[in-house]
Structures are given as structure tokens and as C-alpha cells.
Amino acid sequence: MEATRNKVVTFHYTLKDKETGEVLDSSQEFGQPLTVLFGAENIIPGLESRMEGMKIGEKRTIEVPAAEAYGEKNPELIQKVPKDYFQGIELQKGMPLQAQTPDGQIINMTVVDFDDETVTVDMNHPLAGKDLVFDVEVVDIRDATLEEIKHGHVHGEGGVQH
């Protein structure tokens, strides 16, 4: 059986920054293998397209350019905000923060810089603009159930949940 649309694929991965070689995440180090419904956009498109056709037990090193991962950095998502919005927070460069819009949407951001008046925040995904390398090993593949296909994600098994 191969990793194709409407298959439930379970795989181990180690994610690295292509430029620095730094390990950013690893299912072997930090948890269980990832289980996803293939073809349902539950993983970045560049990884899914390059995993297509893999079989159980197959290992592959996959390079994914930024445009097919988390996108290029959008300069419009780097903004200066009045420091008053951050009262009671001891700011540090590189600090991750969350804000909530009036309609309840959560916005993740990182502190880029700050002074007495303003805080510069970056609302791009932390991996935006980075070319990535995945070391992948497929450990299981099965047919998805009709319910999983209808819902667009795996049920049970620690897969991607919505």
C-alpha cells in the first residue's frame, strides 16, 4: 500500500532548518509518530506531495522550499504596536506572544524589538521564509474510513485533530 489520497499515513519525522541544520522538531525525540489523512491538507503541501507513493518502512529525506512550507515572510505582518498594549508583560526579544481579535481569533506573534513607546511584533509563522528538510519514515498506511474522509481528518490514533 502507498501513501496516496484518502489513506491514513503514520510516519516518524525529524524537521530541520535547511540553512542551519538545526533540528526544529522530531517525532522520535518529542513524541509519537504523526498520523494524517493523506490529501486532506493536514500537513504542509510540499511535504505531502513529496511523500506521495511512499510505502511502509520506506525512509526519505525531503527538502521543502519555504514557498511550499509556511510561505515567504510577509513584511506587512511585521508591525509596530503601542507599548501600552503590553502592560504587565516583561518583554524580551524573540518572546512568543498571543493576542485575541475582537471576534475571538487568536493571533500568534513574536517580539522583534521594543523601546519606551512601541513594540515591533512579527505575526508571520515562525518558520516562514525557511527552507525545511524532513527525514521521514512511513510506519503504517491504511485505508481511511468514510467518516474520516467526510470529516477531513483521522479519528483516534493521535492524528491531526480539528
Distance separating alpha carbons of residues 35 and 152, to the nearest angstrom: 13
What would the mean pLDDT of 112-131 be, rounded to a whole number?
94
What is the pTM assigned to this prediction?
0.80
* DSSP track, 57-107: T-EEEEEE-GGGTT----GGGEEEEEGGGGTT----TT-EEEEE-TTS-EE
Same domain for 82 and 39 = no
Same domain for 63 and 36 = yes
pLDDT of residue 157: 53
Residue 31 banded pLDDT, cuts 50, 70, 90: confident
Residue range(s) defining the domain that contains residue 83:
75-122
| Residue-wise pLDDT tens digits, 49-80 | 999 999 999 999 999 999 999 999 999 999 99
Domain contains 162: no
What would the mean pLDDT of 129-148 be, rounded to a whole number?
95
Residue 15 banded pLDDT, cuts 50, 70, 90: very high
What would the mean pLDDT of 90-109 be, rounded to a whole number?
90
Percentage of residues in the chain having pLDDT higher than 90: 77
Domain contains 135: yes
What would the mean pLDDT of 138-145 be, rounded to a whole number?
95
Same domain for 57 and 11 = yes
Q: Is the pLDDT of residue 161 over 70?
A: no
Specify the length of the chain in residues.
162
User: What CATH number did the domain enclosing 52 receive?
Assistant: 3.10.50.40
For CA atoms 118, 119, 120, 123, give the dihedral sign.
Answer: negative
